[in-house]
Amino acid sequence: MSTVLFALGSAMILIGGLCDLFGAIGLLRFPNFFLRLHAATVGTIGGAVVPLFGVSLVALGSDFLGSMRYPIAGASAITAIIVLLVAPAGSHILAYAAHKAKLIKWKKVCDHLEAKKP
């Protein structure tokens, strides 16, 4: 059982590294603020939350940690849940503020909020 937890946790840590890489590429390649904000959120959720859950599984599967494996697993899982709740809210607030500030948009934009103004 501990080998399965360790392998699954290691795979989640690797997936998190790939999400961080894709988020960084998106920050460099995407043309406007809103798309870059999406890439940053993907990097945060995939690159922080998934590896933290992976660390939790690795800690649970590691026998050499002894009784300290439960606090390590719990702390990493609680941190992942907090980041999972806070990161999308922060991205939403940034996108809303940028929209209200009338940020210069990319040319190909369909703004559904602009069409609903009276």
Q: Mean pLDDT of residues grouped by 10 in the chain (118 residues)?
A: 89 95 93 90 92 95 88 95 94 91 73 68
State the pTM of this model.
0.79
- Rounded distance between C-alpha atoms, residue 71 and residue 67, angstroms: 8
Residue with tokens 């607030």: 93
pLDDT in the model for residue 1: 67
pLDDT in the model for residue 63: 84
